[in-house]
Amino acid sequence: MTDELHVAAVDLGATSGRVMTAVIGPERLEMTEVARFPNGPVRAGDALHWDIEALRGHVMAGLRAALADDPSIASIGIDSWAVDYGLVADGELLGAPFHYRDERCAAGVEAVHATVSPAELYAATGLQHLPFNTVFQLAAEGSRLGEAERFLLIPDLFAWWLTGRAVAEQTNASTTALLDPRTGQWHDGLIERLGFERSLFAPLVAPGDEIGPLTPDTRAALATSADVRVTAVGSHDTASAVVAVPMTRPDAAYISCGTWGLVGLELEHPVMTDAAREANFTNEGGVDGTVRFLHNVTGLWLLSESIRAWEAKGGPVDLSTLLAHAARITEPVPVFDANDPRLAAPGDMPRRIAEVIAEGGDAVPSSRAAFARSIIESLAVAFAEAVRTAARLAERVVGVIHIVGGGALNALLCQLTADHARLPVLAGPVEATALGNVLVQARALGLGGSLADLRALVARTHPPQRYEPRL
C-alpha cells in the first residue's frame, strides 16, 4: 500500500448535498465535512425541476474551500441520486433537469410500454419498474430531446462542468433501463427500438477510471493551481454506499437507508427471472463489476415529510425527542404498506398515511409519537420482507443485515428491523456513501486492494453497532 492519500468527495443527495475531504492510509480513514447545503425540488410552471445552478454554486464553493484547507488533494469524486439528467448541446445545459417525482413520467411510461412491454424491458435490462426510470423520462422529453447532443446523468453533468469531458459512469448508467447488465454496455438494440439517437449516449467509464484533469477555467474558479483530477467512482450513491458496507462474511444483506431504503445483496451475476421481475427487484451495476440485486423501499422520506408537515402546522419538531417517545410505546401500532404509490410525492404525508391506515381497517394513531412508531414499524417490516425475498430469489442464505446511511443512526429502526427479520443488524457507517466514494478514488491513486480489503478497512476504522433480534 502507498502512503496516505488526500481526496475530496462531492456527495449529492435528494434532500441535501455536501463536500467532504478524506485522508486515507493502510490503517486510516478519516473524513471532514467541508460544506453542507440544501437540495430539493423547485416548481417552475407546472413541472418539478432541480435548482441545478444553485447546486452547482454550492459544489464549487465547497470544492474551493476544500482545496484551500487541503492543497494536497489529488482527486475529486462525484456521486448522486440516480435516474435524473441534464441535456447538453454546444457546451451549454438545455434548461434545469427535471425532478424524478415530476408528473411527466407517467406519459413516458405509456410511450415506452407501447413499444416495449414491461416483461421485454426487464428481460433486456434487469431493472425494476419505477415510473421515473431514465428511459421513461427520456421518452417524455418530446422535441427538446432532438436539440440535445448528450444526456448526462447528474454526477456526469458535474464531471463535465469540471473537466469538459462527457462520459457515463457505469453504475449510474445501469439505473437508466438502457444498459445491458450482462455486458455492462449500452443496450444498442433497445435504444434503436425506442427511437433514441445513439449519439445521445456518452462513452462509458468504470469506477476508478480517470475522467480528466480540471480545466483551466475550473482551476481558476476554484482558486487552485494544483494538479487535481476527477476520478469516476460508484457515481450512483448506493453503489458508493455498498463499497463501504463493512461486510466481512458472505451471507450478508445490506440496507442503504436514507430518503430511500435500498435493500439487497451483492452478487456476481444478475438475477433476471420472471419471479425477480414480479417481485420488482432490480439488477444495478456495482463497483468491480458486481451486481446490486435490490429492491427500492420508500425510506425515511415518510418520516421526514411527516415532520415537515407537522412543523408547517405547529412549529419545530425535535427528531430525537420524537424517536425517544416512539421507542417507549408498548401497545401495537398499525403497519401499513410503505411502498403505497400515494406516498411517493411531496405534500401532506400524515394525511395520506392516515388514509392508507384507515383503508386497512386500523385506527389512525392519535399522537405524533405513535404515528412515528407506525412509520418506523412499517419500514422495518418492509425491510425484513425485502431481505427474505432477495434471499429466496437469489437462492442465498442471509445471516446478517448491514444498515448504512442515515438510517444507521435510527436505533429504533435498526432494532425493529432485527426483530422483524429475526437476524442481527449491524448499523453503520452513517457516511457510507462518501466513504465508498473516497475509497474508490484512493484505490485508483495507489492504495490497492480488493473490495474485501476496502471493507475490512471500514470495519477497523468505523466499527458498526450490533442489534440482536428480540422476537
Residue 127, C-beta contacts closer than 8 angstroms, at least 6 positions apart: 121, 133, 174, 175, 177, 181, 282, 283, 284
Whether a cis peptide bond, with omega within 30° of 0, leads into 213 is no
Handedness of CA 123, 127, 130, 133 (dihedral sign): negative
> 135: closest CA among 170, 96, 174, 183?
174
d(C-alpha 217, C-alpha 164), whole Å: 10
Place of cell 428480540: 470
Active site residue 237: yes
Instruction: Please tell me the distance from the alpha carbon of residue 255 to that of residue 408, in angstroms, as a whole number.
Output: 9
CB 229 within 8 A of CB 76: yes
Q: Are 206 and 179 in contact (CB under 8 A)?
A: no
Report which DSSP code applies to 98.
B
Listed residue (437, 462, 420) closest to 11, CA to CA: 437
Written as nine digits, the cell of 381 is 417490516
Q: Considering 237, 274, 419, 453, which one is annotated as catalytic?
A: 237
Per DSSP, the three-state class of 401 is: strand
d(CA 460, CA 9): 21
**Distance between CA 2 and CA 25 in Å, rounded?**
7
CA–CA dist 63, 77 (Å, integer): 11
Catalytic residue positions? 237
